[in-house]
Chains A and B, each alone.
Chain A
Amino acid sequence: MSIVNKFKQSLSARIVTYVLTLCILLFVLSLSGFYFFSKHRIEEMTYRNAEILTENTVMQTEAILAPIMKIADNYKWMITRMINHPDTFMDLTRQIVAQNPEIIGSAIAFTPNYFKDKGLYFSPYSYRDGDSIRSIQLGNENYEYFVMDWYQIPMSIQQPYWSEPYYDEGGGNALMTTYSVPVYLDSNGKEIIVAILTMDLPLDRFTEMVSSLKILETGYASVLSRNGTFVTHPNKELIMNQTIFSYAKEKNNPELREIGRDMQRNKSGFVSSTLDGIERVMYYAPLPSSNWTLAVLFPKSEMYLPLRSISIILLIVIIIGLGLLTVIIARIITRQLSPLHHFATSARDVAKGNFNIILPDIHTQDEMRELHDAFEYMQHNLVHYIQTLKDTTSAKEKIESELRIAREIQMGMIPKTFPPFPSRKEIEQFAVLIPAKEVGGDLYDYFIHEEKLYFIIGDVSGKGIPASLLMAVTRSLFRTVSLHYNTAAEIMAGLNRSLSENNESNMFVTLFLGLLDLRTGMLEYCNAGHNPPLLIEKTSSYFSVIPNLPLGLYEDFEFKQQSYQLNAGSTLFLYTDGITEAENGEQVLYGEERLLAFLSEKEFATPQLLIEGVLEDVTHHVAHAPQSDDMTMLAITFVGGQEKYEKSITLINEIQQIPILYEFIEGVGHDLGLEDALVLKLNLALEEAVSNVILYAYPKEPGKKIVVSVSLKGSDLIFTVTDSGIPFDPTLSENPNLELSAEERPIGGLGIYLIKQIMNEVTYSRIHDINIFTMKKKI
């Protein structure tokens, strides 16, 4: 099973994953928060530390340098006091060296020829040589101290001067610096410099102090002189050889040069710069007494070393923790959820009908217990419910079967044979009733009485059995009441009275009643609150109706009737509101407008096609929405009242029968009031047709039947000659050669020619061994 599948199928896997993801997210957030906060703090602390360290070191180094300045100041004063006793100065220098162990040499170098008798270079100098102190005159021709920095600079700038560090004369690696102060003397009210007092200070203690400084792993301190010369540095090569500026040039690091210049301006502060390919942080501060600079440097990355190790440890702890968490959570959840699996199995068993399965034991008092109790409850109830369901189902089945029977009975009341009156060519009609429930409240009915078609379409209020019962009553009443009254309004009033009586349940019926004179097409109708029918002629329109009131509401209501002359070919389309109020899924009604539009657009050959067309359109509209009401449609096409004439005669195949045919044709002519000339012509044609059959259809078979029938359809008078003789299609005969004598012409040829001359249309067909020869004549 793949992980994805496991994830999809296992609740515990999902919970573990979610919990784990959340935990990781929280850890990542808190760890990065910790990291960045700590990083910031460490940076701050390291910087602060570096700053403090630098400031402390500055103070400590100052503690070496500053006392020298104080000592010099003291002795300076003594020199002015003893200026008239030059021979004491050598002792004074000895005293300075002797009393100040940190000083290893001291000179009092007078300006040239200051003491007339002491020569050009009077400069008593004492210096430490091992444990003893030696004293000499410093200046001579080979040591013209007047051009030395230690003398010349304080003399020129008239200020004390710390010399640039230098190596001891002895040649050793001992670094020295000399502090020189000018000694002033009042000369005629003017302060003039008479000598320079110097004190030589070895820098070993100073450099040791600075070199011993440590910051982080490889951080170090360095002192630079005023000119930027390295006085101390872990890289001995740099000491006294390089200035920060030459070093910057060598390393091609202009930034470092600028830092050096800032140092010379006695600035202090943090800078970070890349030195030897490593990003370093530097804090520098001036040594106030000498204008030298102390700098503390450390690689930036080292700041974060402790943080990195803490983070790694933390990360390992978190990973292990997450691992443990995963295992523990997985165990707990799996254990907690394990009854679910049993419940699932139990549910499947219950579904199979095994209600007595044993549920898993739950000892906790939690949701799982609740589920168990609910399951148990369901188990018990299901047994009861299934029994009830069985009973209900059998009861329902019984009702359903009864309903089915009721429906059959109801449907039996509704005429369903089409065409209902096959012999009545004046009308064509078709109807459907589709109940919404097993039995419905819609109805339609019709019958013919005395050349009149009585028809109704109606809708009983409500649905189901009560509606169907009232529908049955209405239909029965229609059949009986109609025969007792002459007009539609009277019939409707009669129906209303009967239905209103004892109408306890206040049910009512909408009904459209029509009486169509089949001979004339005159329609007499009365509407009792029903949907107005549609009249489909060349154009379609709703029938103008007086609505009146539905039946069964007011016993004495006076119904008003209307009449309309139907033209031949007109169709009356009646329907119940089940059609126009058919709803689709969006509760949009099919509507009268759509019905009208549909019927206006399309032409249908027969009422059946018309109804099927409408039904299809409604079904299309409704789509899958359930049918809510009975749908009933009735369509009646008035073909024409003229085709009221029909007559036939049966002859046998004897030539003597021809006079009977004459008599029959004349009778027709009389019946229809035809002109004599036309009757004569019809006689001629039919004689030819019938004699053809008599002579050839049944060779040597006397006594066979020939049926001649006539009917009037519109202005067409249609004659049909049928026989069951040998197949013969007279229409296929060639036109006769009129040049030939009668005897010479082939049999029958002239007769057909004659018939075609007289009649407008001649057709032949053979159906079921019967020759049907039809002749049509417009009159």
Chain B
Amino acid sequence: MTSRIVRLFVILFSCGSLSAQMPEVVFMPHWLPQAQFAGYYVAQEKGFYEEAGIKVKIVHPSASIMPTESLLSGKVDVISLFLVTAMTTVGNGAEMVNIAQMSQNSALLFVTKKSKNIKTIQELSGKKIGIWKSGFDEIPKSLVNSLNIKVTWVPILSSINMFMLDGVDAMTVMWYNEYDQIINAGYNSEELNTFFFSRHGCNMPEDGLYCLKNTYNTRKQDLRKFAEASLKGWEYAETHPEETIEIVLEVMKKNHIPTNYAHQQWMLEKVLELMKPPLEKGNKGYLSEITYEKAAKKLLSNGFLKSITPYSEFFKPVLSFKNDDQ
């Protein structure tokens, strides 16, 4: 503990003068602090950003402050967003580009209690499915559409209580988050049926880093430094999970967000898995054109997109990759 305080002081004072000269990057993850963003907190805490020569400020969204709005209004430099959310936002005319695709896989799934007797995804037909009110609904809805079944979507703010109390028959959950919350509320995995989107032709990558086109054009170096240092943070998180979880818990505590070690451990583990490229030789932070096209077509066919923004317009990588022909 003492050493951490000492380090904080060192960072504050030694960098105090330096940071004044360092370019600042304000980053807003698209949700409240949790292990989903562990890499950024680790990079911040371990000083990877300073090492890279940038000063990073992490701010979090709230009920009234949303990431996209914050980015568009210029309050923040970089945000993280779901790929499809970003695509629809860009499709609606936002001047926003993807500078690194951190998540490579889909963490989405429908979960039902076995007692509901829903054994196949088709059997969701006519059922009430809980879904986040705050977005991320494009892919679940696309998936259901592609199955040619009708369901009743029940918007839910964020808790699992509707699911727990049978207010809904199924719920859209994140593998790394709500699914574990259900487990931590007393349901055993063998009492639940899961339908992973990735196994139903919807393995859409999720979290990516976005900035304004203008920012990309003017501050490419700073963005590259940010993305590289963030990746370094993620790599550190992978090799030092316990320390990472402690860092995450500390951040969450500061933000008065209730949580616990077990849940954040689960989340970190799963998020790290999701970051692994589906192909062995894939690069971290890369968004392949095929993936992009696939997602775009899905959104287009389900009416979430009116037209497809060219891949090269959408993905403006700041990282350098092993081979660019992926």
List A residues at the B interface (Cβ < 8 Å).
Answer: 142-144, 146-149, 152-153, 155-157, 161, 163-164, 167, 171, 226-228, 240-247, 249-250, 257, 260-261, 264
B161→A164 contact, CB < 8 A? yes
Q: Give residues 146-192 of B contacting A (CB, 8 Å).
A: 154-157, 159-162, 164-168, 183-186, 188
Our pick among A144, A164, A247 for the contact of B260 (Cβ within 8 Å) is A247
Residues of A within 8 A of B167 (CB): 152-153, 155-157
A227→B258 contact, CB < 8 A? no
Closest chain A CB from B33 CB (angstroms):
14
Residues of B within 8 A of A153 (CB): 161-162, 165, 167
B168→A156 contact, CB < 8 A? yes
Our pick among B166, B186, B261 for the contact of A261 (Cβ within 8 Å) is B186
A246→B184 contact, CB < 8 A? yes
Closest chain A CB from B54 CB (angstroms):
32
B259→A241 contact, CB < 8 A? yes
Q: Give residues 257-283 of B contacting A (CB, 8 Å).
A: 258-263
Given A161-B165, A241-B260, are A148 and B157 also a contact pair (CB < 8 Å)?
yes
Report the Cα distance A149→B168, complex, angstroms: 12
Q: Which residue of A lies closest to B264 (CB)?
A: A246
Given A152-B167, A161-B165, are A250 and B155 also a contact pair (CB < 8 Å)?
no
Closest chain A CB from B61 CB (angstroms):
13
Closest chain B CB from A165 CB (angstroms):
10
Closest chain B CB from A180 CB (angstroms):
12
Task: Offer 27 A-B interface pairs, CB within 8 angstroms, sorted by A.
Answer: A142-B63, A147-B156, A147-B157, A152-B162, A152-B167, A153-B161, A155-B167, A156-B128, A156-B154, A156-B168, A161-B165, A164-B159, A227-B161, A227-B164, A242-B260, A243-B184, A243-B186, A244-B186, A245-B185, A246-B184, A246-B263, A247-B260, A249-B184, A249-B262, A250-B260, A257-B186, A261-B186
Closest chain A CB from B294 CB (angstroms):
31
Report the Cα distance A149→B161, complex, angstroms: 7
Residues of A within 8 A of B184 (CB): 228, 243, 245-246, 249
Report the Cα distance A164→B162, complex, angstroms: 11
Q: Which residue of A lies closest to B168 (CB)?
A: A156
Report the Cα distance A144→B263, complex, angstroms: 28
Closest chain A CB from B63 CB (angstroms):
6
Report the Cα distance A584→B324, complex, angstroms: 124
A246→B161 contact, CB < 8 A? no
Report the Cα distance A93→B49, complex, angstroms: 52
Q: Which residue of A lies closest to B64 (CB)?
A: A142
Q: Which residue of A lies closest to B134 (CB)?
A: A147
Query: What 0/1 pattern do residues 13 to 25 of B give for CB contact below 8 A with A?
Result: 0000000000000
Report the Cα distance A261→B188, complex, angstroms: 9
Given A147-B156, A228-B185, A245-B184, are A171 and B256 also a contact pair (CB < 8 Å)?
yes
List B residues at the A interface (Cβ < 8 Å).
Answer: 63-64, 128, 133, 154-157, 159-162, 164-168, 183-186, 188, 256, 258-263
B262→A226 contact, CB < 8 A? no
Q: Which residue of A lies closest to B252 (CB)?
A: A241
What number of A-B contacts does a CB cutoff of 8 Å give? 80
B258→A240 contact, CB < 8 A? yes
Q: A148-B157, A164-B161 are in contact. List 10 more A-B contacts (CB 8 A).
A: A142-B63, A143-B63, A146-B155, A149-B161, A152-B154, A163-B161, A243-B185, A246-B260, A249-B184, A250-B261
B186→A156 contact, CB < 8 A? no
Report the Cα distance A242→B186, complex, angstroms: 12
Residues of A within 8 A of B185 (CB): 227-228, 243, 245
Closest chain B CB from A112 CB (angstroms):
12
Report the Cα distance A188→B129, complex, angstroms: 29
B162→A264 contact, CB < 8 A? no
Report the Cα distance A247→B128, complex, angstroms: 31
Q: Which residue of A lies closest to B63 (CB)?
A: A142
With most chain A CB atoms within 10 A of its CB, the pick from B166, B188, B256, B263 is B263
Q: Which residue of B lies closest to A265 (CB)?
A: B186
Q: Which residue of A lies closest to B259 (CB)?
A: A241
- A-B pairs, top 10 by smallest CB distance, nearest first, are A156-B167, A227-B185, A249-B262, A246-B262, A246-B184, A240-B258, A147-B133, A242-B260, A250-B262, A246-B260
Residues of B within 8 A of A227 (CB): 160-161, 164, 185-186
Given A142-B63, A241-B258, are A228 and B186 also a contact pair (CB < 8 Å)?
yes
Closest chain A CB from B116 CB (angstroms):
14
Residues of A within 8 A of B160 (CB): 227
Closest chain B CB from A131 CB (angstroms):
27
Closest chain B CB from A178 CB (angstroms):
12
Report the Cα distance A257→B188, complex, angstroms: 10
With most chain B CB atoms within 10 A of its CB, the pick from A143, A146, A147, A244 is A147
With most chain A CB atoms within 10 A of its CB, the pick from B162, B188, B258, B260 is B260
Closest chain A CB from B186 CB (angstroms):
5
With most chain B CB atoms within 10 A of its CB, the pick from A144, A242, A244 is A242
Our pick among A143, A149, A247, A261 for the contact of B159 (Cβ within 8 Å) is A149
Residues of B within 8 A of A161 (CB): 165
Report the Cα distance A172→B70, complex, angstroms: 27
A149→B162 contact, CB < 8 A? yes
Our pick among A147, A226, A249, A261 for the contact of B155 (Cβ within 8 Å) is A147
Closest chain B CB from A265 CB (angstroms):
9
Closest chain B CB from A236 CB (angstroms):
12
Q: Which residue of A lies closest to B249 (CB)?
A: A241
Closest chain B CB from A169 CB (angstroms):
11
Q: Which residue of B lies closest to A163 (CB)?
A: B161
Q: Which residue of A lies closest to B164 (CB)?
A: A227
B165→A245 contact, CB < 8 A? no
Report the Cα distance A152→B171, complex, angstroms: 14
Residues of B within 8 A of A171 (CB): 256
Report the Cα distance A164→B184, complex, angstroms: 14
Residues of B within 8 A of A155 (CB): 167
Report the Cα distance A143→B64, complex, angstroms: 10
Closest chain A CB from B245 CB (angstroms):
11
Report the Cα distance A142→B157, complex, angstroms: 12
Q: Which residue of B lies closest to A249 (CB)?
A: B262
A226→B162 contact, CB < 8 A? no
Residues of B within 8 A of A250 (CB): 260-262
B165→A157 contact, CB < 8 A? yes
Closest chain B CB from A541 CB (angstroms):
108
Closest chain A CB from B115 CB (angstroms):
13
Report the Cα distance A250→B262, complex, angstroms: 5
B156→A152 contact, CB < 8 A? yes
Report the Cα distance A171→B254, complex, angstroms: 12
B164→A226 contact, CB < 8 A? yes
Report the Cα distance A701→B167, complex, angstroms: 170
Closest chain B CB from A764 CB (angstroms):
130
Report the Cα distance A146→B155, complex, angstroms: 9
Residues of B within 8 A of A264 (CB): 186
Closest chain B CB from A709 CB (angstroms):
137
Report the Cα distance A227→B164, complex, angstroms: 8
Q: Which residue of A lies closest to B257 (CB)?
A: A241
Report the Cα distance A737→B154, complex, angstroms: 166
Report the Cα distance A144→B134, complex, angstroms: 11
Closest chain A CB from B211 CB (angstroms):
27
Residues of B within 8 A of A226 (CB): 164
Our pick among A149, A228, A247, A261 for the contact of B157 (Cβ within 8 Å) is A149
Report the Cα distance A544→B244, complex, angstroms: 127
B166→A157 contact, CB < 8 A? yes
Closest chain A CB from B8 CB (angstroms):
22
Q: Which residue of B lies closest to A239 (CB)?
A: B258
Report the Cα distance A246→B155, complex, angstroms: 26
Q: Which residue of B lies closest to A158 (CB)?
A: B167
Closest chain B CB from A172 CB (angstroms):
10
Residues of A within 8 A of B258 (CB): 240-241
Report the Cα distance A152→B133, complex, angstroms: 12
Report the Cα distance A242→B262, complex, angstroms: 9
A245→B157 contact, CB < 8 A? no
Report the Cα distance A355→B258, complex, angstroms: 106
Report the Cα distance A157→B162, complex, angstroms: 9
Residues of A within 8 A of B64 (CB): 142
A245→B133 contact, CB < 8 A? no
Report the Cα distance A247→B185, complex, angstroms: 11
